Amino acid sequence: MQERTYSLVLRTFTMTLLQILAIIFYFAKQSSFSAIDSNMTWHSSEIPVFLPQEILKLDKPRFSAKAVPDLTTHCNEECLWKEAHPTLKDLKENLSYETVYTNGTRTLTMVDFAGFDPSTFLLKQYTPRRLRRKRQIFGVDGRFDISGKQFLLHFPFSTTVKISTGCTGVLVSDRHVLTAAHCIHDGKDYVKGAKKLKVGFLQENPKTQKLAKSSKLPPKLLTRWSRVKRTQVPKGWIRSQNDLSMDYDYALLELKRPHDRPHMEITVMPTTDQVAGNRIHFSGFDSDRPGQLVYRFCRIINETPHLIYQHCDAQPGSSGSGVYAKLWLPEKQHWERKIVGIFSGHQWVDLNGVQRDYNVAVRITPLKYAQICYWIKGAYSDCHLH
């Protein structure tokens, strides 16, 4: 009797939480429509032409590094200045990339690009703002557990996947997953688990599906694992091995076989006034809530050419989550979710003798968009904003 009562209370609480979540989504959508600005020009950004050049064969990686589920970095005035004043040589070096295949072979692709003005990086500069003392969870925990197959198995939550090294990823094509570079490479070498890397998809357990219908209880979900065919990591992350930087903390995984569910579209992160509610959203598999998909949203607090600073509550395991925003599509006359960044971890910023802490996402810039799109499409002619 007590078990039945407890089960009923738990189900009631879960449904109440889901109703609250649905209300949040509804009002967020309504308020977004009231904030449409005639200057919604993010979609007209010029995308550089990404041109792979020489391909060099490298030794097979040792896969000796330990996984880094909780990345924390530091940045000061010098770090911020370098980020906002890149040289063309540095950009070409950072956007060169390594490719690792299932047989362990590894290559380095040198790149060039056309149609890019480095001075555009100067448009975004960090300015000191409010001080926070706690890390990762900022005050009251604002995360939501996503429950029920009507949410978990449908867009946008169904685009979130597990990475076998303990991180999260997001589906960005019918066979590609975007995640954080530190989930597979620690800056010096690929992590042990990256040798047989897998991506996990939540799905219904057919054995318990019939039982759930007869008992009127929500069916339990299981994780279906899919092998990765190859991984691609920008040299900007690997170059940072002596002084880890989040600027290029992203990687693309190509699956051996295509999946059968919707994916998120990536785009260039626009200015904050072009983001609905100035808010970003992401879902991940936080390590302190095992077995749960955890969703959160929050306002953007600060930004630099490469990073989005915010106080979205997060824990280890959420690294690699696809950070999305609602953007206005003039040609379609509606708002749409687009991936604008990748959740990386935590950073302490020291400026003018004051230390501030943030949770940080890598922003997708025009150059990064051109690179990731080329990895997905295989041709720069197919890479344009829409």
Question: CA neighbours within 13 Å on the CB side: how many for 160?
Answer: 30
List 245, 319, 321, 344, catalytic entry: 319
Q: Say which amino acid occupies 345.
A: G
The sign of the torsion formed by the CA atoms of 175, 181, 184, 185 equals: positive
Residue-by-residue DSSP string for 93-118: HHH-EEEEETTS-EEEEEEEEES--G
List 96, 158, 176, 182, catalytic entry: 182
Strand 354-363 and strand 49-58: the pairing is: unpaired
Name the packing angle between helices 366-377 and 88-95 (round to 10°).
Answer: 30
Which residue bears the tokens 């005035």? Answer: 77
User: Nearest CA to 230 among 364, 57, 101?
Assistant: 101
- Residue 319 falls in the annotated catalytic set: yes
Q: What are phi and psi of 21, to 5 degrees?
A: -65, -40
Cα–Cα distance list, 31 to 36, 334, 362 (Å): 9, 13, 27
**Residue partners of 111: CB distance under 8 A and separation at least 6:** 50, 51, 52, 53, 92, 95, 96, 97, 371
CA distance 133 to 38: 38
Cα–Cα distance list, 91 to 48, 200, 207, 367, 370 (Å): 12, 33, 52, 9, 13
How many CB atoms lie under 10 A from the CB of residue 326? Answer: 18
- Residue 43 falls in the annotated catalytic set: no
Q: Say which amino acid occupies 326.
A: K
List 64, 85, 141, 243, catalytic entry: 243
H helix intervals, the chain: 2-33, 77-84, 88-95, 149-152, 206-215, 235-238, 366-377
- Residue 386 falls in the annotated catalytic set: no
3-state SS, residue 212: helix
CA distance 296 to 317: 14
Catalytic residue list: 182, 243, 319
